[in-house]
Amino acid sequence: MSYYYPARADIDLAAFAHNLNVVRQSLDGQKIMAIVKADAYGHGRVECARTAIAHGADYLGVAQLGEAIELRKELGAGPRILAWIYAPGAPLAEAIRDGVDISVGAWWALDEVEKAAAQVGAPARVHLKVDTGMARGGFPLAEIPDAAQRLQKLERGGDVVVVGLWSHLARADEPGGTFTDVQVERFEEARVAAAKAGLDIELHHLAATAGALWHPKARYDMVRPGIALYGLSPNPAWATARQLGLTAVMTLSGDVIVDRMVPSGTGISYGHTFITDKPMRVGVVPLGYEDGIDRKASNTAPLVINGQPACIVGRVCMDQFVTSLPDGAKPGDTAYLFGDEAAGLPTADDWAEAMGTIGYEVVTRLGARVPRVYHE
């Protein structure tokens, strides 16, 4: 740790490797693209990427092109990396030089990839993206034949190598739903159209975590697990992380820095949204909304201090929050916000339920100033 901070996020890389193996055991031999976008969901991009590759991941996936370029610098040559978000004018030539795979899902993107490849004098490795039901990115299904023909011409001319065909599932976290089947059918149509255009595509990939776990037809050649690698369920209402055999990778904690008894009728924190109805011991933990502790956690999110339950009371502030304090707790003790259920801690999904959101948001919003402490 390069500087002092009275809170920390412990990152268990052995748990990450365990979760990767849990996903692998659910598959039928498909390749795995480990998703490390958004700084590995707040856990640390480089460390998680290295762990993924060391434990057999075939690909790495990041959303932003800039993330991919930086990750290539951090990891060096070797691991395959896919990026899929960029705007007109993006540094595609640099990405091509770095061997980054690039998603193409719009005509302007095809134009810019062609120009960048000509500039570099080397083919771009591309994954053709089709919109099968997200209405978010990718060519509409009706445009896939023309897009595939354009790519086939570019491939013949040495400007691209078409590595993949891909899409994303909108409702895979509803295991009993039928829309995933609809998307699989549309993806099949795109696959046939690409083949008819003469593209010999190595990797067809459609499923992220929920698709990989709960929709075997969506697995194709490769799956793209993300949230499961970090020990969270894509849908805790269907199956919790513990039921899936996953282990939380992040444990977030902070030091108790205040211990005081306040009388009945005391207003706590800004706006006095909590007023004590009896004498109460309260403490302060130095984490706030600048650190990613959402104000929606006010008066609701659980903690564990000295093995005993506690709860945030009053509004979360920018740099700190007030908590109920169990008997015997004192300044310097550790307040655990969330971690692994098997260790007796609240989970990120517990926090998500308390705040009316999802576990993804709880971990990815963790601020940069909170030190990540890595261990095996």
What digits encode the pLDDT tens for the residues 214-247? 999 999 999 999 999 999 999 999 999 999 999 9
Q: Please write the tens of the pLDDT for every residue from 121-136.
A: 999 999 999 999 999 9
pLDDT surpasses 80 at 70: yes
Q: Would 13-230 and 250-375 be classified into the same CATH topology?
A: no
pLDDT surpasses 70 at 46: yes
Question: In the prediction, which pLDDT does 178 show?
Answer: 94
Q: Are 255 and 334 in contact (CB under 8 A)?
A: yes
Q: Are 114 and 143 in contact (CB under 8 A)?
A: no
- 256 DSSP 8-state letter: -
CATH superfamily label, 13-230: Alanine racemase (3.20.20.10)
User: Given 73, 115, 270, 330, which residue is catalytic?
Assistant: 270
Q: Please write the tens of the pLDDT for every residue from 271-310.
A: 999 999 999 999 999 999 999 999 999 999 999 999 999 9
Rounded mean pLDDT of 47-71? 98
Percent of the chain at pLDDT > 70 equals: 99
- 26-54 burial, b for 16+ CB within 10 Å, e for fewer? bbeebbbbbbbbbbbbbbbbbbbbbbbbe
pLDDT surpasses 60 at 202: yes
Question: In the prediction, which pLDDT does 2 show?
Answer: 57
10's CB contacts (< 8 A; 6+ apart) are 250, 251, 252, 253, 339, 373, 375
Rounded mean pLDDT of 33-53? 98
Q: Is 42 left (phi over 0), alpha (psi -120 to 50) or beta?
A: left
Beta bridge partners, 104, equal 128
pLDDT surpasses 60 at 1: no
The CATH architecture assigned to 250-375 reads: Beta Barrel (2.40)
- 14 DSSP 8-state letter: H
Question: In the prediction, which pLDDT does 176 show?
Answer: 85
pLDDT surpasses 90 at 53: yes
Alpha carbons 133 and 184: distance in angstroms, whole number: 10
Three-state SS at 113: helix
Three-state SS at 359: helix
Every domain of the chain and the residues it spans: 13-230, 250-375
Determine whether 217 is an active site residue: no
Alpha carbons 363 and 233: distance in angstroms, whole number: 13
Neighbours of 275 (CB within 10 A): 12
Alpha helices in the chain (DSSP H): 13-25, 37-41, 45-54, 65-75, 92-97, 107-120, 144-156, 179-196, 209-214, 348-355, 359-364
Q: Please write the tens of the pLDDT for every residue from 74-132.
A: 999 989 999 999 999 999 999 999 999 999 999 999 999 999 999 999 999 999 999 99
Rounded to the nearest 10°, the torsion over CA 184, 187, 192, 196 is 180
Determine whether 289 is an active site residue: no
Rounded mean pLDDT of 152-156? 97
Neighbours of 222 (CB within 10 A): 23
Rounded mean pLDDT of 181-210? 98
Mean pLDDT of the chain: 97
Length of the chain measured in residues: 376
Label residue 336 by pLDDT band (50, 70, 90).
very high
Taking each helix axis from N to C end, the angle separating 13-25 and 45-54, rounded to the nearest 10 degrees, works out to 50
User: Given 37, 41, 86, 230, which residue is catalytic?
Assistant: 37
pLDDT surpasses 60 at 311: yes
Rounded mean pLDDT of 136-142? 96
Rounded to the nearest 10°, the torsion over CA 113, 128, 201, 159 is -10
